[in-house]
């Protein structure tokens, strides 16, 4: 059986970390093999350890076991809860499931404003699907991004993240419909930018909950057929049996605030963290499966995946415990009408609040532009304006990319890190290379706030930044405008 470290080195490292945190060896939890469980180097300081049950070696297969650390914050964190029937519940006052009368009005009387174009030509113009960089540059698709972080949005809530030597996929769905049947149910109006067979190596998949647009049986089967037991699945409580019946053998099932890792990569911790949502796949399985977000904590980078969620106070707890995050993927779509969606889906303004709560340095908008699941206009300025406004405050939020008028972002991918990318050398997330945004008043206004915009003479523009030291900070923000390219000390923007 594969072991990531020798037992002696693991115990010695653990004892040193525990002594630094004021924890005596007698308080240490142990693995099933009898050796002390590893206290991860990136964990926040703690004075006491709690054992939520024996933790298997990181090289084990499917398990409900996990290792829990008590970080001894000033306040207790919110754990998962169940009702008297054993079904999971949301413990926050912000949760309220809509009444039957509200649901009937939603389905029968409310007007659908999503206005998805029926013409493929129009869709290709307004929502182009961009070929992922790992198809354009296959020799670089090995997950080797150095100290940086590379992210590719594959549509809806599917995100490919490369960080700290791992390649991670979130809530993968490559099927045409978010449904138990492929002849009915919500159909994608924008296809995925690649197939499962075209994906690079995947080390881990995280699943936020069991709804069909986040847990797709066809995609799970395809991933399992391609990667088999080498692919580790991280799922919330209650999904283990479903995953095993689908043929997945390497599954880790976690409660909120529990953690585990990928075999051979003990330095990267996967923590199941709270979210405000619900679960249902059949007429009788209401909330028998837990829902959650995921915090992935590595030695160089931290990534947060919000999954599907309404706004609640737990994001502040996540930020205090694990923040700041280098990158977060936060949903912004399927939020109207608010009396139906408020409890389960954040709107763009609330997504910005999550971005702040978890202390994200950069955030990527997800859960939009793929399925028409609610009634908002998918390319409305209202969808994007809060993110532009927040980006102007030097807390970049990527829309991959967007126009503030009528066009919408494509399903986008970031490009491999290059030596001309100042963020790559600084260890911060690798910035996306995105198709150019139309040059409009909002773009002009934003760039004017940052510096002097001048014509390049080649149909483009460049931004003269008065303080060169600002370039590393401005580079992620300006990635919204195709690049930018560093040329002779200036930032060139495509028009």
Q: Which of 136-145, 156-165, 354-363, 408-417 shows the lowest mean pLDDT across its residues?
A: 408-417
Q: State what percent of residues in the chain have pLDDT above 70.
A: 54
C-alpha atoms less than 13 angstroms from C-alpha of 268 in its C-beta half-sphere: 21
Residue 30, CA distances (Å) to 14, 36, 49, 471 in order = 11, 4, 11, 48
Kindly give the pairing relationship between strand 265-273 and strand 293-297: antiparallel
Nearest to 440 by CA among 463, 470, 406: 406
Q: In the chain, what are the domain boundaries?
A: 1-72, 100-430
- Beta strand residue intervals within 62-145, DSSP E: 69-70, 81-82, 88-89
**Cβ(42)–Cβ(252) below 8 Å:** no
Integer CA distances (angstroms), 91 to 78, 79, 277, 353, 456, in order: 8, 8, 11, 20, 56
Q: What dihedral angle (degrees, nearest 10) is formed by the CA atoms of 185, 186, 189, 192?
A: -90
Name the percent of the chain lying above pLDDT 90: 25
What's the first-to-final CA gap in the chain, in angstroms? 55
pLDDT of the residue at 190: 82
Burial class (CB in 10 A: 0-12, 13-18, 19+), 459: exposed
390 or 102: which carries more pLDDT confidence?
102
Q: What Å distances lie between residue 106 and 5, 159, 178, 278, 337, CA to CA?
A: 55, 30, 20, 18, 8
Instruction: Supply the pLDDT for residue 55.
Output: 34
Could you list the beta-strand ranges (E) of 86-201: 88-89, 149-153, 159-163, 166-170
Q: Residues 6 or more apart from 386 whose CB is under 8 A from it?
A: 348, 349, 351, 352
Cα(481)–Cα(181) distance, integer angstroms: 40
Q: Over the stretch 280-329, which tens digit does the pLDDT of each residue have?
A: 888 888 888 999 999 999 998 999 999 999 999 999 999 999 999 988 99
Q: Which of 148-152, 411-415, 419-423, 460-464 has the highest mean pLDDT?
A: 148-152
Helix (H) or strand (E) segment spanning residue 206? strand 204-206
What are the angstrom distances between the C-alpha of 201 and each of 69, 144, 332, 402, 431?
A: 30, 11, 28, 29, 21
Arch. (CATH architecture) of 100-430:
4-Layer Sandwich (3.60)
Q: At 446, phi and psi to the nearest 5?
A: -65, -45
- Burial-class residue 17 by CB neighbours within 10 Å (0-12, 13-18, 19+): middle
Q: What is the pTM of this model?
A: 0.69
């Amino acid at each position: 059986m594969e072991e990531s470290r020798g037992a002696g080195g693991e115990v010695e490292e653990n004892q040193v970390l525990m002594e630094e945190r004021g924890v005596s060896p007698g308080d240490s939890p142990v693995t099933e093999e009898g050796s002390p469980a590893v206290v991860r180097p990136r964990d926040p300081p703690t004075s006491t350890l709690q054992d939520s049950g024996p933790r298997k070696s990181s090289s084990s297969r499917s398990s409900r076991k996990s290792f829990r650390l008590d970080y001894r914050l000033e306040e207790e964190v919110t754990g998962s809860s169940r009702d008297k029937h054993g079904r999971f519940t949301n413990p926050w006052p912000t949760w309220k499931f809509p009444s039957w009368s509200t649901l009937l009005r939603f389905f029968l009387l409310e007007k659908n404003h999503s206005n998805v174009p029926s013409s493929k030509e129009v869709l290709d113009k307004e929502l182009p699907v961009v070929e992922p960089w790992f198809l354009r540059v296959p020799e670089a698709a090995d997950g080797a991004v150095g100290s940086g972080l590379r992210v590719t949005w594959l549509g809806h809530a599917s995100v490919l993240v490369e960080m700290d030597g791992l390649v991670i996929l979130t809530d993968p769905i490559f099927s045409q419909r978010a449904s138990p049947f492929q002849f009915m149910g919500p159909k994608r109006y924008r296809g995925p930018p690649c197939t499962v067979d075209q994906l690079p190596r995947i080390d881990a998949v995280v699943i936020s909950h069991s709804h069909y647009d986040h847990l797709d049986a066809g995609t799970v089967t395809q991933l399992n057929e391609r990667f088999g037991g080498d692919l580790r699945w991280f799922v919330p409580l209650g999904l283990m049996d479903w995953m095993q019946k689908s043929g997945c053998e390497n599954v880790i099932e976690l409660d909120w605030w529990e953690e585990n890792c990928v075999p051979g990569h003990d330095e990267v911790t996967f923590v199941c963290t709270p979210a405000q949502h619900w679960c249902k796949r059949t007429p009788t399985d209401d909330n028998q499966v837990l829902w959650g977000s995921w915090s992935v904590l590595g030695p160089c980078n931290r990534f947060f995946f919000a999954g599907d969620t309404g706004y609640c106070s737990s994001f502040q707890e996540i930020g205090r415990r694990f923040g700041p995050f280098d990158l977060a993927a936060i949903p912004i779509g399927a939020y109207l009408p608010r009396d139906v969606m408020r409890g389960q889906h954040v709107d763009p303004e609330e997504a910005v609040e999550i971005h702040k709560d978890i202390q994200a340095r950069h955030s990527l908008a997800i859960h939009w532009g793929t399925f028409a699941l609610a009634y908002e206009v998918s390319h409305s300025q209202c969808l994007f304006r809060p993110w532009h406004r927040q980006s102007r405050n030097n807390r970049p939020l990527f829309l991959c990319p967007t126009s503030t008028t009528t066009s919408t972002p494509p399903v986008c991918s970031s490009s491999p890190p290059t030596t001309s990318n100042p963020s790559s050398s600084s260890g911060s997330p690798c910035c996306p290379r995105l198709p150019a945004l139309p040059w409009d008043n909002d773009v002009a206004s934003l760039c004017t706030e940052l510096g002097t915009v001048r014509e390049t003479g080649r149909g483009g523009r460049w931004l003269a930044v008065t303080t060169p030291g600002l370039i590393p900070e401005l580079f992620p923000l300006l990635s919204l405008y195709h690049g930018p390219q560093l040329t002779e000390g200036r930032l060139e923007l495509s028009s």
